[in-house]
Amino acid sequence: MVEIGALLRAERASRGLSQADMAARLGVSRQMLVSLEAGAEGTAAGTLLRILTDLGIVLIALPA
């Protein structure tokens, strides 16, 4: 989750979006976005996938 959070933060910043702007765009609280960017666990998969989709990031799952 830490790597995904860092990716989200970098992509948001590269687009010039504040956390508040990105959270409003996604319909989530700024605190939820802060938690995601910090790599906190416990975020609903649907929320994470919606954020990745909004940023144009493709998540690829491979067997361990």
- Considering the chain, what is the average pLDDT of its residues? 87
pTM value? Answer: 0.75
> Residue 60's pLDDT is what?
85
Going by C-alpha positions, the residue among 62, 64, 59, 63 that lies closest to residue 1 is 59
Torsion of CA 6, 11, 32, 26, to 10 degrees: -160
Query: Which residues lie closer than 8 Å to 16 by C-beta, 6 or more apart?
Result: none
- The tokens describing 59, both together, are 């998540």
* Highest mean pLDDT, choosing among 20-24, 45-49, 50-54, 60-64: 20-24
